[in-house]
Amino acid sequence: MASSKLYAQVHITKRTRRNQVVRIVREHYLRDDIDNPLRTKTFHGETASNDQAERYVLLDSSCLPYQVDLLERGAAEGAVTGVILLSTVLERVRRLRGEAAKRRVLDLLSEGQGVGRFCVFPDDYHARTSVTAQAARRGETRDELERRGFARACKWLVEDGNGLSKEGESGMEVDPKGGKTSRVLVVSDDSDTRAYLEGAEELQGLVAKGLVSIQSTEEWITRSHPHLLDLVAVHSAGDKEGEAKTSGSSASFLPYRQHITVQEAERKIKLGLAFKGKLACTSRYSPWTALVSVRSTEKPELTEVKVVGREALNRAMEGDLVAVELIEKEKVQETAKAEEAGEDGKGVGEVGIASVAENEMDAEEVSDSVQYARVVCIIRRAWNDKGYCGSIQPKSLPKSEELLQSSGRALGVLFQPSDRRLPLIRVRTRQANVLKDQRIIVVIDSWEKESAYPSGHYVRALGMIGDRETETKVILHQHDVADPEEGFSPAVHACVPELPWSVPSTIEDSWRRDIRSMCVFSVDPPGCRDIDDALSARFVSPSEVEDSGDVTCVSLAADKKLVELGVHIADVTHFLKPNTPMDLEASRRCTSVYLVDRRIDMLPKPLTEDICSLRCNVDRFAFSVLWRVNVDTAQVVGEPEFFKSVIHSKAALTYQEAQERIDRGGTDVITTSLLLLRKVTRKLRQKRVDLGALTLASPEVKFEIDRDTHDPLDVGMYVTRETNKIVEEMMLLANETVATCIFEKGFSRSALLRRHPVPTRTMFEPLLKACKSAGIAMDVTTSRHLADSLDAAGVSKDTKDGYLNTLIRFMATRCMTQAEYFSSGEVAQSQFSHYGLAMPIYTHFTSPIRRYADVVVHRMLSACIGLEAPSVELCESALVTEQCGILNVRHKNAQLAGRASAELYTLVFFRDRPSEESARVVKVRDVGVVVFVPKYGIEGTVKLEGWTKDEGGKPLTTSPDGSRSLRLFDKVRVKIQVEQEGQSRQEHLVLSLVA
């Protein structure tokens, strides 16, 4: 029987969904042998100047997770040490701010600089400090009880750490740490908590003796580590006394509306008076117009609402989960005009906030039927804990050079994020003169209703503005891509076999088939070193099938019409075992990221480029799929074969080299295999087209890079050859076949699949509007009708306008929904289909070196064919769904990072090369026209001041003197040059019309 002092009961009263009150009793066991961190020899505080005392820091929940950036930097520099985190404080952080906030705090204790500098004391499980063991006083709230428990834990830590008597009245005893006094600095950013602790009876005697002191984070850092002051997170937007006031704080600014509580918002949502959804900006260049995707049982036709203007957004930002109320369109227009002009002719616009009118440039494609709304509550913030990249806005810097160079004085400046969908951020810094020409990272701390901008704090600098390496770091940080400089941890590298590695001479696994004699080869882009896939194709001889009993196979083989097609994929899961450090890191990264000048791998380089890569002339492990196919009809005969294998690739070809072999012809085994693949894949492709598969297009560019300087030497549109289509068709066949297998033969409730939802009619409106104005018939009823319309676009009896057809396909691509990973147990089977590929079921199997989704699918397929037992992670639909959510985010981020890298290198290429090129008008706007330059894959706005837009039957814009008009899809000539934006300090392409 447990002692009453070491045992407590927790009584919890909660209300169920049926509004019933339930009382729950939980057992809570305590201990009296938990070590005091002040007595632990491996954990030390800061040493005082007289070397006779060590000072420890005890943080409360008001500091966390806001001050994590400060703690990380302080620990890395060796400045901050001896920080104690109470388990009750961590639990309060989790309860109030979520599991992610708690994890970020606990990351301080992980391997690296935090070891020995931070520790967690489980105060709720120690008999002398437990909050649970305390009886709440009459009328005492939970917050008050936890505050009293914090004081009690602090008292015991100090008294026990210094060897004081139980009453705390005797002198010092000999301390285990060489007689040094252990002092504790309690840090709290809540003024009420500090006032309570200063007057708490538990701490009064210790405060009087100087063993306990109480300060805010700013006071602590100012006195002990002033060089870290810029990293102190602020919780108020107000200016501190004596600081330089932020330039641009206009007296005309009107405070935002007070948000209603989350409880009130939920009540209104249930009554149909408000709607909940995620906010997404409609423009890449401004935060002041957004769409909110909503769901409503009261109004099922309402799927999204538009929020326009600073007042309507009410401090909501990109990605926030918000509650909105509908408002009249006329009210929106009045507010927008007032905001743009400023109530006294100035307004917030004079400090660099883009106007609503500017934002509308990219918002024109929003359907006119969308209703307007305003934000009344921000249910959950989407602020990035890792911060945002950008630079200090020059206009916000003080004009006085003396004030700017004063390093000891905090200056209020405005930070311009590189992502223009974010508002300016107010920052206090003592390094303004040093940081003004650098890209820096800033974390948002708060946004008070009295402030035009959110407040934040500086974290670190990335490098000089305009430097290619610096701007690449911005791209990686902005899209949450792993920093290649950090690499993989030692624990991950320990999972990788030592090099040199080769396939053992004796294959231990009896189920692994040896097909090294088969002619297998790969076809990839030039320079590819992480080769995921290889192909094979051959005719099947009659002797191979005469004993099969399959009459169809025997007949086709006798007529030399039966071929065996093979797709062989790197067997990554042979080396990547579940729940190992390498697997956990891969599941976090989810995908390799391809930039113009580098590749950020999902797996360590020895695996991606050597051990798993299907290089030519070496043996490698693979996961193979074989089909027997009628060469005349491309009809699969019988069931496909799935097995793990050992292959020996005979060649690693580029797309161009493979195409040259096909064009040249020949009798060697690789060329005949390629010709056979071409014949079959043409038929496979035609079958998909007949079912409605779409041939879309995107402006993908290719760079020629100088090997020494890494500067771009040339840029142009990526050329697609028939060999690209051959490989693509074989990968699609493999992915569809594997998807069918894992869904039907083992994981009907948790198969990891990929779908492409059907776009709504509203999504096609920009395409339909453009085609109608150009006299182009466009039917989007089904994917087959759309495919036929795209094929006919730009084609007449006499001519075929290839550029026009490509532009129409670009526009159709932008109307598509985003393809996504999902668990089969979470979606109806009727919704499994892939709209663009015209496939009823689909997944990713063919790139496990660079995609974690394929790794999961490999494990599922292995279980289906009996090679391994399925794990819980594969069988539970909820766990697969959780992983799919991460995969979808990471996949999208990787795509955006790749595009941003291409944009960066395009800017570098044109920086000293102004050019004139032919272009086509793809959109007519009030302020000009949007053109596409086919040679470079560039799209941009040509501003035309004074020109008049006429909607009419066909959108056109006319010059002031009426001598020239431009219509949709007209051919023009433009000049391309690079300019730097004044306030964001970002370079961008400027396109101007050549007369």
Residue ending a domain, choose from 231, 248, 273: 231
What is the mean predicted confidence (pLDDT) over 273-278?
Answer: 92
Beta-bridge partner residues of 426: 414, 455
239, part of any domain: no
Residue ending a domain, choose from 869, 898, 927: 898
Contact 661, 532 (CB under 8 A): no
Contact 513, 644 (CB under 8 A): yes
Dihedrals phi, psi of 150, to nearest 5 degrees: -65, -45
905, part of any domain: no
| More confident of the two residues 561 and 47 | 561
* pLDDT confidence tier of residue 356, bands split at 50, 70 and 90: very low
Contact 752, 763 (CB under 8 A): no
pLDDT at 41: 65
5, part of any domain: no
Residue 648 has pLDDT above 80, yes or no: yes
**At a CB cut-off of 8 Å and minimum separation 6, what does 153 contact?**
86, 88, 121, 123, 126, 129
Give the count of beta carbons closer than 10 Å to the beta carbon of residue 711.
15
Q: Residue 493 and residue 855: Cα distance in Å, rounded?
A: 18
Q: What integer best gives the mean pLDDT of the chain?
A: 84
Kind plus residue range of the DSSP H or E element containing 653: strand 636-654
Give the count of beta carbons closer than 10 Å to the beta carbon of residue 558.
13
Helix (H, G, I), strand (E, B) or coil at 62: helix
Contact 743, 749 (CB under 8 A): no
- Helices 722-744 and 655-664 pack at an angle, to 10 degrees, of 110
| More confident of the two residues 736 and 715 | 736
**At a CB cut-off of 8 Å and minimum separation 6, what does 505 contact?**
none
Count of the separate structural domains present in the chain: 6
Domain limits for position 610: 490-494+508-687+700-752+823-898
Shared domain for 748 and 775, answered yes or no, is no
Contact 412, 211 (CB under 8 A): no
pLDDT at 948: 85
Shared domain for 310 and 447, answered yes or no, is no
Residue 46 has pLDDT above 50, yes or no: yes
Shared domain for 282 and 190, answered yes or no, is no
What is the CATH number for 115? Answer: 3.40.50.1010
485, part of any domain: no
Residue 167 has pLDDT above 60, yes or no: no
Q: How do residues 693-724 score in pLDDT, each as one tens digit?
A: 988 877 777 888 877 787 887 887 777 889 99
7, part of any domain: no
- pTM metric for this prediction: 0.83
Reply yes or no: is the peptide bond before residue 176 cis, omega within 30 of 0.
Answer: no
pLDDT at 791: 87
Dihedrals phi, psi of 681, to nearest 5 degrees: -70, -30
**At a CB cut-off of 8 Å and minimum separation 6, what does 917 contact?**
933, 935, 936, 973, 974, 976
Shared domain for 678 and 739, answered yes or no, is yes
What is the CATH number for 373? Answer: 2.40.50.690
Residue 47 has pLDDT above 90, yes or no: no
What is the CATH number for 942? Answer: 2.40.50.140
Lowest mean pLDDT among 223-227, 650-654, 755-759: 223-227
Shared domain for 672 and 538, answered yes or no, is yes
pLDDT at 829: 93
* pLDDT confidence tier of residue 293, bands split at 50, 70 and 90: confident
Contact 894, 481 (CB under 8 A): yes
Beta-bridge partner residues of 568: 534, 624
Give the count of beta carbons closer than 10 Å to the beta carbon of residue 293.
13
Q: Residue 871 and residue 886: Cα distance in Å, rounded?
A: 19
Shared domain for 659 and 763, answered yes or no, is no
pLDDT at 13: 62
Residue 462 has pLDDT above 80, yes or no: yes
Residue 975 has pLDDT above 80, yes or no: yes
Contact 426, 455 (CB under 8 A): yes
**At a CB cut-off of 8 Å and minimum separation 6, what does 659 contact?**
721, 722, 723
Shared domain for 224 and 274, answered yes or no, is no
764, part of any domain: yes
What is the CATH number for 427? Answer: 2.40.50.700
Residue 238 has pLDDT above 50, yes or no: no
12, part of any domain: no
Which strand ranges, in their side-by-side order, compose the sheet holding 965-967?
948-950, 956-958, 965-967
Residue 221 has pLDDT above 60, yes or no: yes
DSSP state for residue 326 in the 8-state scheme? E
576, part of any domain: yes
Q: How do residues 903-945 score in pLDDT, each as one tens digit?
A: 999 999 898 888 999 999 988 888 888 998 888 888 888 988 8
Q: Residue 34 and residue 19: Cα distance in Å, rounded?
A: 41
Contact 774, 969 (CB under 8 A): yes
Residue 165 has pLDDT above 70, yes or no: no
Shared domain for 83 and 150, answered yes or no, is yes
pLDDT at 250: 46
Sign of the dihedral through C-alpha 449, 451, 454, 456: negative
Shared domain for 112 and 192, answered yes or no, is yes
Shared domain for 588 and 633, answered yes or no, is yes
Shared domain for 588 and 723, answered yes or no, is yes
Distance of CA 815 to the CA centre of its chain: 22
Paired tokens of 952: 């009419």
User: Exposed/middle/buried for 554, CB within 10 Å: 0-12, 13-18, 19+?
Assistant: middle
What is the mean predicted confidence (pLDDT) over 135-148?
Answer: 78
Residue ending a domain, choose from 847, 868, 898: 898
**Buried residues in 197-219 as b, exposed as e (16+ CB within 10 A):** beebebbebbbeeebbbbbbbeb
Q: How many helices (H) and strands (E) does the chain have?
A: 28, 38
Among 61, 116, 57, smallest CA distance to 88 is for 61
Helix (H, G, I), strand (E, B) or coil at 990: strand
pLDDT at 176: 46
* pLDDT confidence tier of residue 111, bands split at 50, 70 and 90: low
Q: Residue 966 and residue 994: Cα distance in Å, rounded?
A: 13
* pLDDT confidence tier of residue 375, bands split at 50, 70 and 90: very high
Contact 482, 600 (CB under 8 A): yes
Beta-bridge partner residues of 58: 84, 186
Shared domain for 868 and 922, answered yes or no, is no
